[in-house]
Amino acid sequence: MTFPYRIGRGDTWERIALRYGLPVSEWFRVSRELRERQGLYGQRQVSAGRKAVQPAYSSYVLKAGDTIDGVAQRFGLEGAELLEVNPGIHHRHLRIGQTIVLPQVHEIMQAEGEGYGYAALVSQLKRLQRDYPFLETGSVGRTVLGQTIPYIRIGSGSREVHYNGAFHANEWMTSLLLMQFVESYAAAWRNGDKIAGRDARRLAEESSLWIVPMVNPDGVDLSLHGVASGHPYYERLLAWNGGSADFSGWKANIRGVDLNDQFPAYWETERDRRDVAGPGPRDYTGASPLSEPEAAAMAAFTASRDFRLVMAFHTQGREIYWNYRDYEPGESAAMAQRLEELSGYRAVKLTGSDAGYKDWFIREYRKPGFTIEAGFGVNPLPVEQLGSIYRELLPLLVEGLLL
């Protein structure tokens, strides 16, 4: 799996590779096609604003009878590619139990200035279904505009856990984060490898992880692409956005309702606190709890499972919210402390906030629920932060399956 990188002033291919701890030769190999398309091949100095491609890796443990060419064929690679990214390995001297690197060069190709929208998510889901047939995919419901809200299930164990992202439209970085984790976890499971120090196959045997990576597809696409004149909400959206065609700050769904203020957990208190009279980019709680199909779908989906815990991923602030009006179970504080130790994020006992998904889950089921505010900066976070955010949160994402 790869992600776009926006080239900054003064960047060279060598500097970009070093920034991500990658071999320069591998960066060149993965991004060669894109650079040729942009007319940049062979240049050491590159133009600010262009896109390169950041490679990602998984690993494979060699087994009896494995050969470089055999492993390469299994994963759709060339033997020379494996040798290039594993310089310490000779094809005549392989050892059983030796771990080799597998370059994953699938690209999420995006136009200049785009983030990670619904089309990219659907495309990636199709590829995951092909590459990892043991994954279960489906839909928890539909959006206002009729788009499906996909889920992915990893594992078949009795401990059920749920993660979700992109409740808020301009927080689409959380969808990327969760899909990166899906791919890393699936690759580790397939290869019999570890993820964050844990045996992936054992995790999958003991737990079932249900991920809804993009709760708010309509809003995400609006935030990324704006609205065209043929859109059914065109005039209303422009009015709700103060006449501006810039929707990059939009958090709500397509009807101007904040989906994370929609849940029946002191909803009236949150409505009065927000004091937002009608639809807009953020903070309008809607006419009633669960009035929006996306929120209603998430509530019904949650009620249909027996989740041990849930994590709702948002941006930004590098904080973990773990409580709700003392409805949380006694173990929640210790869990939050553990997650803080693993991620470096600050565990915060939050007050003055109601009607969120995590709040409702804690109140309704008296089980642990967490809101993870990923990264730091101004929303929407730049996609260049994905690598650092993922490294911070990978241990936390795995630990959630064990708590």
Length of the chain, in residues: 403
348 by Cβ neighbours in 10 Å (0-12 / 13-18 / 19+) ranks as: middle
Per the CB < 8 A criterion, the answer to whether 348 and 373 are in contact is: no
| The 207-212 sheet, strands edge to edge | 136-142, 148-154, 207-212, 159-165, 307-315, 369-374, 319-321, 346-348
Catalytic annotation, pick one of 373, 384, 392, 399: 373
Q: Pairing mode, if any, of strands 136-142 and 148-154? A: antiparallel
Q: CB atoms < 10 A from the CB of 181, how many? A: 23
Contact (Cβ atoms closer than 8 angstroms) between residue 356 and residue 262: no
56-61 and 99-104 beta bridge pairing: antiparallel
How many CB atoms neighbour CB 12 within 10 A?
A: 14
First CA to last CA distance, the chain: 28
Residue 341 catalytic? no
Which of the residues are catalytic?
A: 373
